[in-house]
Amino acid sequence: MSLPSSRGKSSSFYERWVDVYEQAYRNPGNLDSVVCPHCGRLALNLIFIVDVPGETRSTFVFWCAACLGGLPPNRTRTPLHALPVFRGTEHVPNYELVVDEPGAS
């Protein structure tokens, strides 16, 4: 899935989450310096779930452990520098999904 970017325009709450996801995707090992777009805490989690070793596509799950908000899980290319987890071994809380709402800015 290709998520929209809000660069160069006013951004909705969802678009701010997408921007932070893109930052985290580029460097998933450096989440300790990326703040949550909702609560401002340093509590973001990003995992890439695969079914088999070496799989190049995964399901990303991106959420904040502090406010329990995050993007809906979706398919993506697994970054080369990410350490994927195997489906069924992931620990993901029941978090509130931030979704794109047409007309929201």
Instruction: Quote the pLDDT of residue 69.
Output: 98
In a domain? residue 7: no
DSSP output for 21-80: HHHHHH-GGGGGG---TTT--S-EEEEEEESSTT-SEEEEEEEETTT-EEEEEEEEEPPT
In a domain? residue 102: no
In a domain? residue 5: no
Contact predicate 46/34, CB 8 Å: no
In a domain? residue 69: yes
94 contact partners, CB below 8 Å, separation of at least 6: 68
Instruction: Quote the pLDDT of residue 105.
Output: 53
Number of domains present in the structure of the chain: 1
In a domain? residue 37: yes
In a domain? residue 53: yes
In a domain? residue 3: no
Q: What percent of the chain has pLDDT over 90?
A: 73
Q: Which domain holds residue 76?
A: 13-97
pLDDT tens sequence across 19-46: 999 999 998 888 999 999 999 999 999 9
pLDDT tens sequence across 80-91: 888 899 999 999
